[in-house]
Amino acid sequence: MIKILVAGFKGKMGATATKMVLEHDDFELVGVLDPFEDNTNLKQMAEYPEIDVPIFKQKEDVLSVEPDVWIDFTIPKVAYENTRFAIDHKIAPVVGTTGLTEEQLVELTARSESVKIGGLIAPNFAVGAVLMMQFAQKAAEYFPDVEIIELHHDNKLDAPSGTAIKTAEMMSEVRTHKKKGHPEEQELIKGARGADFEGMKIHSVRLPGMIAHQQVQFGGVGEGLTIRHDSYDRSSFMTGVALGCKKVVQLEKLVYGLENLL
């Protein structure tokens, strides 16, 4: 049983994390933290009937419940201070707050190493998306013929998506450079063959109803290999937070990026 504290438990992400911890068999919620909450126990709040867990206003007070892991979904300034405090008190941080500076990351990592406490700071907790990118990179070593099809709702302004570009970048690190398609291919209508990223092609589909989907499609002689990730809603990051909580207690330093735990 891993004892967990959630900082920023009233935000959208923090609330989802709190619920995940409460429902997970391997986790025990030992406290939540929010400087602006006047209630002192979750059971006083409508959303948490019969959940007897203390609410703390000051981070120093959480030490009384001896958490193993500190989940943090606050704001950058607070997250930095919280993470430093957690490390100093041998509580392993799992931080989803984005916006920490390079400098802060370096300092926190050094601090964690010196006290041999594990931790995770990750801008993206969607395990499926991270695996998709890792698999795509691996397959690109063997199949230089690859195209990305990414599909999003039609409110999205930019094409290709950031994930598609990041995937293409990861593949181009290992892929034998090759211009895709027939050397003499012709576009009868401009844009048909998609966006060119170092010889690979990216196609951006925008349709109402869709959420966020990406398909990386490889072709070889007589065969095809496809890796697809579908993101249906924001709760998808919870698999990654849970994974982080389990892994950080076994680490001896802070790690940046979920991919380094997979």
Determine which residue in the list 194, 251, 255, 256 makes contact with its own copies, applying CB under 8 A: 194
CA distances from 115 to 84, 90, 109, 246 (A): 12, 8, 10, 19
Cβ contact 175:144 at 8 Å: yes
Determine which residue in the list 52, 103, 233, 250 makes contact with its own copies, applying CB under 8 A: 233
**Contacting its own copies within 201-230 (CB under 8 A):** 201-211, 217-230
Query: Has 12 been labeled as part of a binding site?
Result: yes
Give the integer Cα–Cα distance in Å for 35 and 16.
Answer: 19
Clarify whether 3 is annotated catalytic: no
Residue 6 Cβ, how far from its own copies at the closest point, in Å? Answer: 17
Query: Has 155 been labeled as part of a binding site?
Result: no
Residues in the chain: 262
Residue 93 phi, psi dihedral angles, 5° rounding: -85, 145
Residue 191 in contact with its own copies, rule: CB under 8 A:
yes
Residue 232 in contact with its own copies, rule: CB under 8 A:
yes
Query: What is the 3-class SS of 190-223, one letter each residue?
Result: CCCCCEEECCEEEEEEECCCCCEEEEEEEEECCE
Cβ contact 115:90 at 8 Å: yes
Query: Has 34 been labeled as part of a binding site?
Result: no
Give the integer Cα–Cα distance in Å for 251 and 253.
Answer: 6
Which entry of 59, 152, 180, 229 is annotated as an active-site residue? 152
Determine which residue in the list 60, 88, 169, 185 makes contact with its own copies, applying CB under 8 A: 185
The residue range among 4-12, 68-76, 113-121, 140-148 that interacts with its own copies, by the rule CB under 8 A, is 140-148
Give the integer Cα–Cα distance in Å for 79 and 89.
Answer: 15
Determine which residue in the list 24, 156, 166, 249 makes contact with its own copies, applying CB under 8 A: 156
DSSP 8-state class, residue 54: B
**Contacting its own copies within 62-91 (CB under 8 A):** none
Query: Has 129 been labeled as part of a binding site?
Result: no
Residue 95 in contact with its own copies, rule: CB under 8 A:
no
Residue 1 in contact with its own copies, rule: CB under 8 A:
no
Clarify whether 203 is annotated catalytic: no
Query: Has 97 been labeled as part of a binding site?
Result: yes
Pick out the residues of the known binding site for NAD(+). 8-13, 38, 96-98, 122-125
Task: Catalogue the active-site residues.
Answer: 152, 156
